[in-house]
């Protein structure tokens, strides 16, 4: 069986909702980072044999198969195929896993896994009635950013409350594990402090591709190079003063991930393909896993998926040097950390191995881009630390979780 390797990649700085990236077409944003990932590594565009693109809401430019349209617009040869994948927040991670599986099967040499989300540019949709050509009656105007381009709710799922708001699932997790507002806010503060330190030290710059922002009537041209959501000056007192969001008692704008725009991409290859390109890979894909549970408790499934992935990798949790746990919400990430000891024979993740550069609460969470961002972040961190093993786990709206174990090539 072939081995699958992460060669490296790039990501945009993550922009806030209505911020620095809001004027860029979604397909162009994705195309730019696809090209940047290849150029950083010295991979010719015509060496890419397949592209996967994660995108949750395709109701904007490039809708349909944004991966293919973005690749063509960015200058990839017509012969390079692409597919768009939607597994909500793990969309691009799922694409990376699919490419890794194809490489292991001997059916792919070099692939590009990517993801994008422009929450600023998500569209509105007029929904048709029950009859395809019914012109009369009220028309439903759907905000696709909140509906995930899913259309009117299915009555069966609606009756099961499967469409529960994501922030409400975070409250459900907090209630399940008996969390206090103080510890939830403390985790958010940790995320911002670690991310701010990683920004100031230049660590985040290792994975970020700066983007040129043209001048407007109000602002001169500039280079956008830092995530807009990181708040290094926030404090426990500031977080404590934020009011709870509707239908929750502890979830606030401060302990939740923000609304973002951004894109990310990583190149995967077989060992022989990497050698032919003259590239030393960053990490080897050791194992992957998925898991699903009740949508009411969206967020904790990564604990189960990570345990499965470790078992498949034949590793004990104490062999893992870096743990990347997705932070859709502080309470959700804490829920994963509370559940992991139950799945790992009492093992608790050491704080100094957890999200060393902060997480999505600070850095941001453009849905489709987050999965490959975590792959890039973990592979980069293993190289920086000269550590051997790392694991990442991403929660998924609807109650799923996806995990991947990486081994640093430099550690061998």
Positions marked catalytic: 89, 365, 395
How far is 13 from 365, CA to CA, in rounded Å? 11
What lies within 8 Å, CB to CB, of 75 at 6+ separation is: 31, 35, 45
Contact 238, 254 (CB under 8 A): yes
What end-to-end distance do the CA atoms of the chain give, in Å? 20
Of the CA atoms within 13 Å of residue 177, those in its CB half-sphere come to 26
Element (H, E) at 143: strand 140-143
Residues 6+ apart with CB under 8 A from 250: 171, 174, 179, 180, 181, 184, 244, 331
Question: What is the rounded radius of gyration, in angstroms, for the C-alpha atoms of the chain?
Answer: 20
The per-residue b/e assignment along 20-53, b for 16 or more CB within 10 angstroms, e otherwise, is bbeebbbbbbbbbbbbbbbebbebebebbbbbbb
Look at residues 2, 412, 10, 4 and name the one whose alpha carbon lies nearest to residue 211: 10
The single residue listed with the structure tokens 């960053």 is 282
CA atoms of 4 and 110, how far apart (whole Å): 9
Residue 308's H or E segment, with its range, is: helix 301-313
Pairing of strands 260-270, 15-16: antiparallel
**DSSP code per residue over 144-173:** HHHHTT--SPPHHHHHTTTT--HHHHHHHH
- Phi first, then psi: give them for residue 50, nearest 5 degrees: -160, 150
Nearest to 357 by CA among 329, 331, 376, 338: 376
Shortest CA distance to 359 belongs to which of 234, 196, 238, 145?
196
């Amino acid at each position: 069986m072939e081995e699958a390797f992460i060669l490296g990649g790039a990501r945009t700085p993550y922009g806030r909702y209505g911020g620095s990236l809001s004027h860029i077409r979604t397909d162009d944003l994705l195309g730019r980072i696809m090209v940047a990932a290849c150029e950083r590594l010295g991979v010719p565009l015509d060496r890419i044999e397949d592209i996967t693109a994660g995108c949750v809401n395709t109701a904007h430019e490039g809708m349909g198969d944004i991966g293919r349209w973005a690749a063509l617009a960015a200058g990839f040869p017509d012969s390079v195929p692409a597919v768009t994948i939607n597994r909500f927040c793990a969309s691009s991670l799922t694409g990376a896993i699919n490419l890794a599986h194809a490489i292991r099967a001997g059916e792919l040499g070099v692939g590009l896994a990517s993801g994008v989300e422009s929450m600023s540019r998500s569209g509105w949709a007029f929904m048709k009635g029950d009859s395809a050509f019914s012109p009369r009656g009220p028309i439903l105007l759907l905000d696709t950013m909140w509906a995930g381009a899913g259309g009117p709710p299915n009555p069966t799922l609606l009756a099961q409350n499967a469409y529960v708001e994501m922030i409400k699932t975070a409250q459900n997790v907090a209630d399940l594990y008996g969390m206090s507002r103080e510890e939830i806010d403390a985790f958010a503060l940790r995320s911002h402090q670690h991310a701010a330190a990683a920004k100031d030290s230049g660590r985040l710059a290792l994975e970020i591709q700066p983007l040129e922002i043209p001048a407007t009537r109000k602002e001169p041209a500039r280079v956008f190079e830092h995530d807009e959501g990181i708040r290094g000056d926030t404090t426990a007192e500031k977080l404590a003063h934020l009011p709870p969001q509707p239908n929750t008692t502890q979830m606030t704008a401060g302990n939740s991930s923000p609304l973002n725009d951004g894109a990310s991409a990583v190149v995967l290859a077989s060992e022989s393909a990497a050698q032919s390109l003259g590239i030393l890979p960053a990490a080897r894909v050791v194992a992957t896993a998925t898991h699903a549970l009740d949508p009411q408790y969206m967020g904790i499934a990564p604990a189960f998926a990570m345990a499965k992935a470790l078992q498949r990798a034949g590793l004990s949790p104490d062999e893992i040097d870096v743990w990347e746990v997705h932070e859709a919400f502080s309470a959700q990430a804490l829920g994963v950390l509370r559940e992991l000891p139950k799945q790992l024979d009492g093992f608790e993740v050491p704080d100094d191995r957890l999200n060393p550069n902060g997480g999505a609460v600070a850095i941001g969470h453009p849905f489709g881009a987050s999965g490959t961002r975590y792959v890039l972040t973990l592979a980069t961190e293993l190289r920086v630390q000269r550590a051997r093993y790392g694991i990442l786990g991403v929660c998924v709206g609807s109650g799923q979780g996806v995990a991947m174990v990486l081994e640093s090539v430099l550690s061998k």
